């Protein structure tokens, strides 16, 4: 049946809703099955929302989804959120205590219902997720826990004159060598042709990344001779990102999507150079006397491998992870060889430690994702390597051979696996065996001149793969395997979409729950204090005559956040927390005086992101007027040009400094989490990488003691949000003239009640 006309219980709220005005599409959405006709007819004197709730459960087709859809149609039709009957009544006469009480009860009931529904959905998601995990795992098992792909590099512009065609992909799984002296074929799990793109490669890798999120240790290697495209596949370029950036993005996408599970990641990066380990997230010592921490490989009781002293940095987003990766890869050992201008002279290992916790049952799963760009596997004779380059090449080849032995032994299920033969295999011991997934991407050059190297690489890969020329399985077995795979893939995609559906549903219910909690908080506050009423009360309570209570506005809902965070935002929150008056200072009235300082009246300075933190150049000296900003510039002790250049060249260190780096007159120190104000005992947020650039050569005259209006504060706040503090005075100085000389930056922050804090970095 179609509803033709309906009234909301209290017409004072939203008046009459004429359903004939709604589009037929909307009408179709809310058609109620015939059996419910009588119920609907009786609905008119009640609120629609209440009736909808009462209908729920009376028939299986009437789900909460259905009720929600009707509610949203009602909302869009009448332009105000739909609430239950008692809530509706109370909105029209909010001062009525009874109605507020009814609304509270009603909201409590609704919240209870939503929480119940959420818990059911979460359980369902857990079940679907475990089904999805097991089907994916079975697919990967069938495909093989150790897989080897081959990627044929396209001809480079410099190779255009080379004779084409000795290395081709005969089919999806076969590489054909048709050189003058050699004709061979090699089988792989997948062969990427020269015109394949990064998307094609990642599409094959993605399920394994998913598997790492499901708790398996994963190793992805890029193997091949120098210049065959290993770094291209792993790192890619800005326009065409490779496996590493895509995997990082995938990890964070998953974390943001599945709110039912808490994922946390940390990143480490190291290189195996000439048989020893180097932490790539730590700057190399520039002097012989500088001590570096020795990295040693330790095995835990459960076979868990840990590298002692290796830097491990928690990563909160892709940007941060990419920044660290970039930093690490810049420190990697590279050299010119006659095969590649920037040949990697070491194995570069990126490790992402994944911890995933289900808040439902508090279970924790830990896994590691290794993304490894191996050193070039070239023959030393071919590259004419000598001296250090030869030593490096030899070390690379020894460890590659050890890696081949380990993977081959694992594949053949040999009782002894020779992990101890190289540092590389020792580190990866817990990520190469049972319950882990290994993928090797073998890269080959298409040119005839590299044919010898190509055959070596392909033979190595074949050994790793544990198979020899010819098929291992009979045709029937292959058919059965293919059928099982396609069945499992179907199941997996069904579970995937189920999980997605449930995640979406949970998200929207969380949102609704947040709204309800917010309304509940509002009702509770309304019950306690009447809205927008000037009143007199005990001054000890911090409220004085004529004060107006902050109006309680609907708040931003962050689904799982505690309600205190999301509800009842006071106007005082528009200023930084440390500037909000304390209980004792609230009594004092500080005069608000207009400040005409140019810094206050200027447009907010431009902010931009950089790999470095702050770069502020400000000489000190005699006060003169700056033509550009109107600020006073101190030019008495102006720094020399060379010094200024040094300051400009050496970037402001990205991380927080050692505690003893504060200036003599400082009141604060810094930790890795940011500066800690000793005087005020307040922990400030760390300096982020986003920063405000101040005009070079302009000293900002301290104005910390000036009084400014609220408008100024909000303007500065907008400009200075990137440094999380209200900086009303910034100065910097340099001690020493070397690039490593210490730089000090001080920020004077003034609060509304007149207190000033100085932060020194
Ligand atoms: N699939 C590809 N498409 C286009 N260009 C490629 C591809 N693979 C490699 N290249 C180009 O080939 C050159 C060498 O590649 P790359 O530096 O990735 O080799 P590599 O195997 O990492 O060498 P090394 O072991 O010496 O570090 C680079 O200029 C790269 O851009």
Q: Which value does ipTM take for this structure?
A: 0.97
The CA 326 to ligand 1 mean position distance, Å, reads: 17
Distance CA 150, CA 186 (A): 10
Which residue ranges in the chain fall short of pLDDT 70? 1-98, 160-165, 170, 257-259, 286-291, 333-344, 359-361, 378-389, 466-474, 527-761
Instruction: Using the 3D structure, point to which of 439, 470, 501 is the last residue of a domain.
Output: 470
Which residues have C-beta atoms less than 6 Å from ligand 1? 153-154, 156, 224, 226-232, 340, 343-344, 376, 443
For the CA atoms of 505, 506, 507, 510, the dihedral, rounded to the nearest 10 degrees, stands at 120
| Residue from 149, 151, 152, 153 whose mutation best tests the ligand 1 pocket (most atoms within 8 A of CB) | 153
Q: What is the pLDDT of residue 338?
A: 54
Is 608 in the same domain as 709? yes
Residue to mutate (ligand 1; options 229, 342, 393, 454; most atoms within 8 A of CB) = 229
Give the number of domains in the chain.
3
Residue 599 and residue 631 in contact, taking contact as beta carbons nearer than 8 Å: yes
Strands 16-17 and 6-7, sheet pairing: antiparallel
In 3-state terms, what secondary structure has residue 151? Answer: strand
Q: Which pLDDT value is given to residue 341?
A: 55
Place of tokens 């005969």: 170
Pocket test for ligand 1, best of 231, 237, 338, 382 (most atoms within 8 A of CB): 231
CA distance 182 to 162: 18
The CA–CA distances, whole Å, from 216 to 211, 257, 370, 434, 534 equal 6, 20, 11, 10, 62
What's the 443 CA to ligand 1 centre distance in angstroms? 9
Give 152: exposed, middle or buried? Use CB within 10 Å, 0-12, 13-18, 19+: buried
Q: How far is the CA of 228 from the centre of ligand 1 (A)?
A: 5
Nearest CA to ligand 1 atom 1: 153
- Give a yes or no: residue 222 inside a domain: yes
Domain of residue 697, residue span: 598-760
Binding residues: 224-231
What pLDDT, on a 0 to 100 scale, did the predictor assign at position 222? Answer: 94
Residues 185, 46 share a domain: no
Where is the binding site for ATP, in residues?
A: 224-231
Q: Check if the beta carbon of residue 36 is closer than 8 Å to that of residue 93.
A: no
Name residue, tokens 């074929």: 185
Please indicate, yes or no, if residue 26 is contained in any of the structural domains: yes
CA 377 to ligand 1 centroid distance, Å: 14
228 and 358 assigned to the same domain: yes
Q: Are residues 43 and 160 in the same domain?
A: no
Q: DSSP code of 693?
A: P
For residue 156, report the distance from its CA to the centre of ligand 1, in Å: 9
pTM over 0.80: no
451: in domain: yes
Q: End of a domain among 435, 451, 470?
A: 470
CA nearest neighbour of 629 among 654, 599, 608 = 599
- CA 307 to ligand 1 center in whole angstroms: 30
pLDDT of residue 609: 28
The set of residues, in sequence order, having a beta carbon less than 8 Å from that of 453 and lying 6+ positions away, is: 225, 228, 377, 378, 379, 382, 444, 445
CA distance 81 to 78: 8
Instruction: Name residue 748's beta-bridge partners.
Output: 729, 758
Number of neighbours of residue 42 by Cβ within 10 angstroms: 11
Q: What is the DSSP letter of 61?
A: T
Q: Find all residues with CB under 8 Å of 324, minimum gap 6, and list them.
A: 267, 269, 281, 313, 315
Q: Which residue is it, tokens 């993605």?
A: 206
Q: What is the pLDDT of residue 336?
A: 56
| Boundary (domain end) residue, out of 422, 444, 470 | 470
- Which has the closest alpha carbon to 314: 370, 373, 263, 372? 263
Instruction: Kindly report the CATH number assigned to the domain that includes residue 369.
Output: 3.40.850.10
d(Cα 636, Cα 701) in Å, to the nearest integer? Answer: 15
Distance 205 CA to ligand 1 centre (A): 19
Residue 745 lies in a domain: yes
Q: Where are the beta strands (DSSP E) in 409-528?
A: 436-444
Please tell me whether residues 41 and 160 are part of one structural domain: no
- Ligand 1 atom having least distance to the Cα of 234: 18
User: Are both 192 and 69 inside the same structural domain?
Assistant: no
The pLDDT value recorded for residue 350 is: 95
Say which residue the tokens 């097991």 belong to. Answer: 134
Sheet holding 729-735, edge to edge: 729-735, 742-750, 756-760
Whether residues 202 and 58 fall in one domain = no
State how far the Cα of 136 lies from the Cα of 208, in Å rounded to an integer.
Answer: 9
Residue 274 Ramachandran class (φ > 0 left, ψ -120 to 50 alpha, else beta): left
Structural domain includes residue 122: no
Distance CA 404, CA 396 (A): 12
Query: Is 149 found in the same domain as 15?
Result: no
Coil, strand, or helix at residue 227? coil
Q: Are residues 198 and 321 in the same domain?
A: yes
| 612-614-620-622 Cα dihedral, nearest 10 degrees | 130
Q: Is residue 588 part of a domain?
A: no
Ligand 1 atom showing the smallest separation from residue 373 Cα = 22
Crossing angle of helices 48-55 and 85-92, rounded to 10°: 170
Would 742 be classed as within a structural domain? yes
Same domain, yes or no, for 56 and 203? Answer: no
CB atoms within 10 A of CB 299: 13
Spatial contact of 713 and 579, defined as CB atoms under 8 Å apart: yes
- Which residues sit opposite 221 in a β-bridge? 372, 440
Judgement on whether residues 157 and 59 belong to the same structural domain of the protein: no
Considering the domain architecture, whether residues 320 and 428 belong to the same structural domain is answered as: yes
User: Are the C-beta atoms of 456 and 236 separated by less than 8 Å?
Assistant: no
3-class state of residue 451 by DSSP: helix
Nearest CA owner, ligand 1 atom 31: 232
């Amino acid at each position: 049946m179609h509803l033709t006309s309906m009234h909301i219980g209290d017409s004072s709220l939203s008046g009459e809703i004429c359903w004939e005005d709604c589009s037929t599409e909307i009408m179709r959405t809310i058609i109620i099955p015939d059996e419910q006709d009588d119920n609907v007819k009786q609905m008119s004197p009640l609120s629609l929302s209440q009736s909808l709730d009462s209908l729920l459960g009376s028939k299986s087709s009437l789900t909460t989804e259905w009720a929600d859809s009707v509610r949203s149609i009602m909302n869009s039709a009448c332009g105000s959120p739909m609430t239950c009957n008692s809530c509706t009544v109370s909105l029209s006469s909010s001062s009525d205590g009874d109605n507020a009480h009814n609304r509270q009860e009603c909201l409590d009931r609704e919240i209870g219902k939503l929480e119940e529904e959420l818990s059911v959905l979460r359980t369902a998601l857990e079940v679907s997720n475990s089904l999805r995990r097991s089907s994916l795992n079975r697919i990967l098992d069938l495909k093989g826990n150790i897989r080897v792909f081959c990627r044929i590099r396209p001809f480079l512009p410099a190779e255009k004159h080379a004779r084409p065609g000795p290395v081709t992909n005969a089919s999806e799984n076969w590489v054909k060598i048709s050189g003058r002296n050699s004709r061979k074929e090699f089988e792989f799990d997948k062969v990427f042709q020269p015109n394949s793109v990064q998307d094609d490669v990642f599409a094959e890798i993605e399920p394994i990344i998913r598997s790492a999120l499901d708790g398996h240790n994963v190793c992805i290697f890029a193997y091949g001779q120098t210049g065959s495209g290993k770094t291209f596949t792993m790192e890619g370029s800005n326009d065409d990102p490779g496996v590493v950036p895509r995997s990082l993005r995938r990890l964070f996408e998953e974390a943001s999507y599945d709110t039912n599970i808490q994922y946390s990641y940390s990143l480490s990066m190291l290189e195996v150079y000439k048989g020893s380990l180097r932490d790539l997230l730590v700057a190399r010592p520039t002097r012989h006397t500088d001590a570096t921490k020795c990295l040693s490989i330790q095995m835990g009781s459960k076979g868990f491998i840990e590298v002692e002293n290796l830097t491990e940095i928690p990563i909160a987003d892709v940007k941060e992870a990419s920044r660290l990766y970039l930093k690490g890869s810049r420190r990697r050992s590279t050299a010119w060889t006659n095969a590649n201008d920037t040949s990697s002279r070491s194995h570069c290992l990126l490790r992402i430690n994944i911890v995933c916790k289900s808040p439902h049952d508090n279970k924790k799963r830990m896994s590691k994702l290794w993304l490894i760009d191996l050193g070039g596997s070239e023959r030393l004779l071919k590259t004419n390597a000598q001296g250090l380059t030869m030593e490096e090449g030899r070390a690379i080849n020894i460890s590659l051979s050890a890696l081949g032995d380990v993977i081959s032994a694992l594949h053949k299920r040999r009782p002894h696996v020779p992990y101890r033969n190289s540092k590389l295999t020792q580190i990866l011991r817990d990520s190469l065996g049972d319950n882990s997934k290994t993928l090797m991407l073998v890269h080959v050059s298409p040119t005839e001149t590299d044919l010898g190297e190509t055959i070596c690489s392909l033979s190595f890969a074949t050994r790793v793969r544990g198979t020899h020329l010819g098929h291992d399985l009979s045709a029937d077995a292959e058919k059965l395997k293919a059928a099982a795979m396609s069945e499992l893939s179907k199941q997996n995609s069904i579970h995937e979409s189920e999980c997605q559906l449930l995640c979406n549903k949970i998200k929207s219910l969380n949102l609704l729950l947040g709204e309800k909690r917010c309304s509940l908080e509002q009702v509770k506050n309304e019950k306690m204090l009447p809205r927008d009423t000037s009143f007199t009360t005990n001054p000890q309570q911090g409220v004085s005559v004529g004060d107006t209570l902050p109006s309680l506005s609907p708040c931003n809902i962050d689904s799982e956040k505690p309600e205190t965070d999301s509800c009842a935002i006071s106007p005082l929150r528009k200023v930084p927390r440390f500037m909000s008056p304390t209980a004792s200072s609230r009594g004092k009235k500080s005069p608000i005086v207009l400040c005409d300082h140019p810094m206050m009246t200027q447009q907010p300075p431009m902010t931009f992101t950089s790999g470095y933190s702050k770069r502020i150049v400000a000489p000190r000296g005699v006060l003169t007027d700056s033509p550009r900003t109107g600020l006073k510039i101190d030019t008495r002790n102006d720094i020399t040009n060379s010094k200024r250049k040094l300051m400009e060249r050496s970037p402001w260190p990205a991380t927080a400094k050692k505690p003893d780096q504060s200036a003599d007159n400082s009141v604060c120190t810094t930790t890795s989490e940011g500066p800690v104000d000793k005087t005020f005992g307040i922990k400030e947020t760390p300096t982020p990488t986003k920063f405000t650039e101040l005009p070079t050569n302009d000293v900002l005259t301290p104005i910390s003691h000036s009084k400014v209006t609220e408008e100024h504060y909000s303007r500065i706040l907008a400009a200075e949000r990137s440094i999380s503090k209200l900086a009303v005075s910034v100065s910097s100085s340099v001690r020493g003239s070397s690039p490593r000389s210490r730089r000090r930056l001080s920020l004077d922050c003034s609060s509304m009640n007149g207190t000033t804090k100085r932060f020194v970095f």
